[in-house]
């Protein structure tokens, strides 16, 4: 028995549950890509699949819509895989454990992947139902959206004739997203050398943080576990000779890290512990509202690696405290919109290096490049390097949008109010696709998804139902 089989619309939740049974984290999308291709073959649909795993499914217009302009429906196949502490699920090999609670679909112990599995489910449900009237549909499923939109960058758009795009990758019902920031991934690498050091080995752990999406929630003032760890380590190093062994935190560049940890060797254990306690008290006051669960723990441990030498430790602590993080500029044109930010999402230690990977976002290409240069300048002073990947452009607002006008009219009819038209700081693939399809008119919508990119993620069932009716009416009226 399927967990969601009693939910309406049945087609949407059936395909969503089937999708959730297939592991589909970023860089692990081949199986779900093949599943989409099998869907198309079973129904005789024109389809394309590329080496990146992107899939295009095409269904011709239903009777009466042959002369209408084609409509593109687009979403991404990959999800952010995050787990609660102690969760043993192998998200690379195991499907999700779905359940329904308080009117929402959730996944036990993990992220749900409603971002953007609901787009895939809705599109497949439309293609699967011959009673739904629509123009020629060109459904585009991309991969690796969550790690830099690399699927969209690699997509061959030549099979696509449409110039109206309905993107289903928004997380707030009633909001029409019409512009977004551009972004990139910046990986800072610091070479380190190691040498023996006599002292007490200690494990430092930062936990209990809320985390969240580094685009849509960067303005909420939440603590970044990797940056907090840097402050704790620097405070300890200011009171006693300290050598860093390892430092780790986060798992996705576009998710605000909830946990981080380090191993150090301290010459004066008591001084190191006292410094950590004092910094923990200060951090607790700073984040009392945004992160009331913040915890810093220092415990004795065994280390299996040789500590970094003094120079490498000093450079590592400088890197962890001086690298920029968080909001860098607010928009002067759109009140309340974050214009430029970056998030230290992944901190990792190898035998000969310490790496910090950032998600960089900006509505202005010049400010995004400014952050690239700032990171390079600091890392050059420390003897390190910065590599940039997954660079994608901003999606600029379009003054004349017949699709937005139609959707606004339908929204008024169904909801009795105007939709919220907004630009967002998070990235969506519309900017990349607009570069491949000149003249593209696109709007991004979606049902209510809460706490995406965290194990608290949940999808509102009633919202899915309303957005489904809305999408069907947009297709029906697109003659």
Angle of CA points 202, 204, 208, to nearest 5°? 155
Which residues are annotated as catalytic? 78, 145
């Amino acid at each position: 028995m399927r967990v969601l089989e009693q939910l309406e619309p049945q087609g949407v939740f059936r395909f969503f549950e089937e999708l959730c049974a297939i592991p589909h984290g970023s860089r692990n999308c081949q199986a779900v890509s093949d599943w989409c291709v099998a869907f198309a073959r079973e129904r005789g649909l024109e389809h394309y699949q590329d080496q990146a795993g992107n899939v295009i499914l095409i269904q011709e217009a239903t009777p009466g819509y042959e002369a209408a302009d084609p409509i593109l429906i687009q979403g991404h196949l990959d999800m952010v895989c995050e787990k609660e502490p102690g969760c043993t699920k192998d998200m690379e090999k195991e499907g999700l454990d779905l359940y329904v609670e308080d009117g929402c679909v959730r996944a036990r112990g993990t992220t749900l992947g409603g971002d953007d599995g609901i787009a895939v489910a809705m599109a497949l449900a439309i293609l699967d139902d011959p009673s739904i009237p629509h123009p020629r549909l060109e459904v585009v499923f991309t991969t690796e959206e969550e790690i830099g939109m690399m699927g969209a960058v690699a997509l061959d758009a030549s099979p696509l004739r449409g110039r109206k795009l309905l993107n289903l990758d928004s997380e707030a019902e009633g909001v029409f997203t019409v512009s977004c920031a551009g972004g990139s991934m910046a990986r800072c690498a610091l070479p380190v050398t190691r040498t023996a050091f006599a002292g007490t080995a200690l494990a430092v752990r930062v936990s209990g943080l809320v985390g969240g999406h580094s685009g849509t929630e960067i303005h909420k003032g939440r603590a970044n576990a990797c940056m907090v760890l840097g402050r704790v380590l620097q405070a300890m190093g200011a009171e006693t000779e300290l050598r860093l062994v390892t430092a780790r935190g986060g798992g996705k560049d576009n998710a605000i890290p909830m946990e981080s940890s380090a191993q150090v060797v301290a010459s004066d254990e008591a001084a190191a512990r006292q410094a950590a306690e004092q910094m923990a008290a200060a951090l607790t006051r700073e984040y009392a509202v945004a992160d009331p669960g913040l915890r810093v723990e220092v415990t004795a441990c065994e280390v299996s690696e040789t500590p970094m030498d003094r120079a490498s430790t000093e450079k590592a602590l400088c890197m962890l405290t001086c690298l920029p993080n968080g909001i860098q500029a607010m928009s002067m044109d759109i009140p309340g919109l974050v214009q430029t930010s970056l998030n230290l999402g992944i901190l990792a230690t190898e035998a000969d290096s310490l790496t910090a990977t950032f998600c960089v976002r900006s509505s202005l290409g010049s400010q995004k490049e400014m952050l690239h240069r700032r990171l390079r300048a600091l890392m050059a002073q420390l003897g390190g390097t910065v590599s940039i990947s997954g660079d994608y452009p901003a999606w600029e607002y379009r003054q004349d949008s017949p699709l937005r006008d139609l959707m606004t009219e339908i929204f008024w009819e169904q909801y009795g109010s105007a939709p919220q038209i907004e630009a967002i700081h998070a990235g969506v693939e519309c900017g990349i696709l607009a570069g491949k399809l000149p003249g593209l008119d696109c709007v991004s919508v979606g049902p209510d998804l809460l706490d995406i990119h965290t194990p608290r993620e949940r999808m509102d069932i009633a919202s899915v139902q309303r957005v489904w009716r809305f999408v069907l009416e947009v297709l029906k009226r697109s003659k």
